[in-house]
Amino acid sequence: FDARHYRLDLRRAPMLQLVYAQDEAQARWVAILLFHHMALDHTALEVVQQEMQAHLMGEAGQLVDPVPYRNYVAQARLGTSEAEHEAFFRQMLGGIDEPTLAFGLAQVQGDGRGIEEVTVAVDEALSLGLRSQARRLGVSAASLIHLAWGRVMALASGQENVVFGTVLLGRMQGGDGADRALGMFINTLPICVSVGEQSVRDAVKMTHARLTAMLAHEHASLALAQRCSSVASSTPLFSALLNYRHSSIEVTDALLSAWNGMQMLSSEERTNYPLTMNVDDLGDGFSLTALVEARIGAQRICDYMHVALRSLFDALEHAPRQPVQSLAVLPPTERRQLLDTWNASPQTYAHDTLIHGQFEACAVAQPDAVAVVFESRTLTYGELNARANRLAHRLLSLGIRPDERVAICVERGLDMIVGLLGILKAGAGYVPLDPAYPLERLAFMIEDSAPVAIVVHTATQALLVDESVRLIDLDNCGLAS
């Protein structure tokens, strides 16, 4: 039952099981509680834990009768109508036409493999300060957490209006006894957080108002909410989650005695999303748990969130009118690396020479040196310069004038470099079109940028056959690499 490899089979019960074995070498019994999220959520797991404690403490007779999950289902069906859900999310998301994909993470159908997990505690002084600011502003601590996460998402995506999934409790309108029922109550829904030029104070108020309004829609379907945005249905609206949850447990001597001799060895939870931030509200303090693809780094995400929370508190304390987009996110060490270490080059570059002019100088100085490598193929400076020159002459022969825009839609590889350089040599500006974008997105970018021509190759030409703009095929013009 190694969680790195073992997965529950949804076609076969049970979805909740306790597996145990005797560890003779360590003179102990080892158990693992396996469950699927469709059977338990965080609150339901606490209910299971409380019932186990009652048995350990000899208080099983005091347990109340369980509430059937069907009661919750019936109550949910009596709530807010689908039309009301749609109106709410269309008002919030209707203007969003670009997904928020932090770090470019776009795969939202993962199985939890390759995910790194790190947990850190928010320092006590900062935790108390955040709660104090929340009380002063008349908002929830969750509102501050959501705004800070929105600032992290803005840094990681390059956007000011960011969308991420927030996990709602799902029990607010679940009827009597919903807080004691087992089952899947939580619901993930998109929330849009604006982290642009508005003041930090205003951003907190706006985020709180949006979260409060969402409570009436906690049972809306994620599919419905995503349809209300202007993002193409084939593209995920977001790829990151924030799960804010209350996890405070009052520790008593009797409770400690009941669990005496038992030890928690480890726990693991995974979602299908590549980036998740769990924030546990422990009553006084907060705990941050980042789950993210290992190549991004879970500790890095925790550091970003901690810095964002610190920046938010400092701004509310000393400069509440400060623009929220100015809140720091990068830790000092990473900031120094970006600004100082990686810029500490002994090379002096001419400030009056365009980039393609500098490239041409390199091509003259070392024409046989390798300039570009892609998989098993290479281009020397001389070869790349010659191909780019041919494309530039082709563009000029078509009447392309300086400062006009030429789009380029080619797959990543040598042809992309040839195309970019050739467009610059012709005096034009390039508009990059990613062939992986949905057709609706490509059409919008072409309409918005109004290029005079589009550089393509055979693999991408079919994507743009309906466009009225002139296509320049690198393959058929003898310009391909």
Comparing 28-37, 112-121, 342-351, which segment has the lowest mean pLDDT? 342-351
Q: Chain-wide mean pLDDT for the chain?
A: 88
pTM, entire model: 0.69
Distance CA 446, CA 465 (A): 13
Name the more confident of 304 and 465: 304
**DSSP state letters, 70-133:** HHHHHHHHTSS-HHHHHHHHHHHHTT--S-B-GGG-------STTEEEEEEEPPHHHHHHHHHH
Name the more confident of 122 and 1: 122
Tell me whether the omega of the peptide bond preceding residue 331 falls within 30 degrees of 0, making it cis: no
Structure tokens at 340: 């100082």
Comparing 51-60, 242-251, 375-384, 414-423, which segment has the lowest mean pLDDT? 242-251
pLDDT at 197: 93
Give the strand pairing for 453-456 and 405-409. parallel
Residue 188 pLDDT > 80, yes or no? Answer: yes
Q: How many CB atoms lie within 10 A of CB 481?
A: 19
Distance CA 71, CA 250 (A): 29
Sign of CA dihedral 13, 110, 210, 245: positive
Q: Which domains are seen in the chain, by residue range? A: 81-255+270-338 (3.30.559.30), 358-473 (3.40.50.980)
Distance CA 432, CA 437 (A): 11
Distance CA 397, CA 411 (A): 25
Residue 180 pLDDT > 80, yes or no? Answer: no
Q: Are 428 and 403 in contact (CB under 8 A)?
A: yes
Report which residue type is found at 89: F
pLDDT at 479: 54
Report the candidate in 275, 337, 266, 324 with the shortest Cα–Cα distance to residue 302: 275
Name the more confident of 202 and 52: 202
User: Could you tell me the pLDDT band of residue 263, with boundaries at 50, 70 and 90?
Assistant: confident
Report the candidate in 401, 415, 426 with the shortest Cα–Cα distance to residue 456: 415
Exposure b/e, 247-285, CB count within 10 A at least 16 = b:
eeeeeeeeeeebeeeeeeeeeebbbebbbbbbbbbeeeb
Burial of residue 318 (number of CB atoms within 10 Å: 0-12, 13-18, 19+) = exposed
Residue 256 pLDDT > 80, yes or no? Answer: no
Query: In sequence order, what are the residues at sequence separation of 6 or more whose Cβ sits closer than 8 angstroms to the Cβ of residue 334?
Result: 300, 303
pLDDT at 171: 64
Query: In sequence order, what are the residues at sequence separation of 6 or more whose Cβ sits closer than 8 angstroms to the Cβ of residue 92?
Result: 191, 192, 210, 228
Q: Are 229 and 237 in contact (CB under 8 A)?
A: yes
Structure tokens at 13: 């019960």
Structure tokens at 57: 């403490």
Q: Are 49 and 56 in contact (CB under 8 A)?
A: no
pLDDT per residue over 392-424, tens digit each?
999 999 999 888 999 999 998 999 999 999 999
Residue 225 pLDDT > 90, yes or no? Answer: yes
